[in-house]
Homo-oligomer: A and B are copies of this chain.
Amino acid sequence: MDKLINYLLEFGQLNQQQIDLIKRKAQLLELKKGNYFSEAGKIPRQVAFIEEGIFRVCYYNSKGDEITKYFVDENNFAVDINSFNQKIPSSEYVQAVTDCTLLVFSTESLNDLSATIIQWDGIINKITEKALVEKVNKLSPMLAEDAKTRYLSFLEKFPNLANRVPLSYLASYLGITQSSLSRVRKSI
């Protein structure tokens, strides 16, 4: 669980007692490629810290196309934050793109941690905010880029994701068709 603890310590201080408590509240979970961590229509009741593997968050648009909203890789938390906080059914799927090793926190565990560890909320808020700002900062420039530039930027921003993710997921994240992405790849 060192990855998790080290990650948390980037955002605030924790003493050994607090660290032990966090470790006790975390539950190890393996999720096989293709399986869902949470699904549209259900209220998410867990948050995952990804130790190994890649998630994606996706949904269906009005045309019925499956859109990958973003990827989440190792050393990050994954959750449909909106539905989780508001306790409303999600409109998104959170899916394992590769076999994943997760540390899972239930709503109850998180409540306990929040009540027991004075710095907890502050740490979580910093993490949340950083993750969201990063998403905006990744998406925004892509709008003005053409297909090739989007792909190249993706390679820069996620250097170790491109080869581990199916073309179709990547294409729907980049907002281009599979065939265009295939051609772009070839042209590089």
Contact = CB atoms under 8 A, between A and B. Distances in A.
Interface string A124-152: 01001100110110011111110000000
Contacts of A122: 121
Interface stretch (A39-47, A64-72, A97-105): A64-72
Copies in the complex: 2
B172 A144 contact: yes
A144 B121 CA distance: 35
A16 interface: no
Contact of A132 (B136, B141, B144): B136
Interface residues of A, number: 28
Contacts of A140: 67, 69-70, 139
B174 A65 contact: no
Nearest to A173: B143
A65 B70 CA distance: 25
Closest 5 CB pairs of A and B: A143-B175, A132-B132, A139-B139, A144-B175, A125-B125
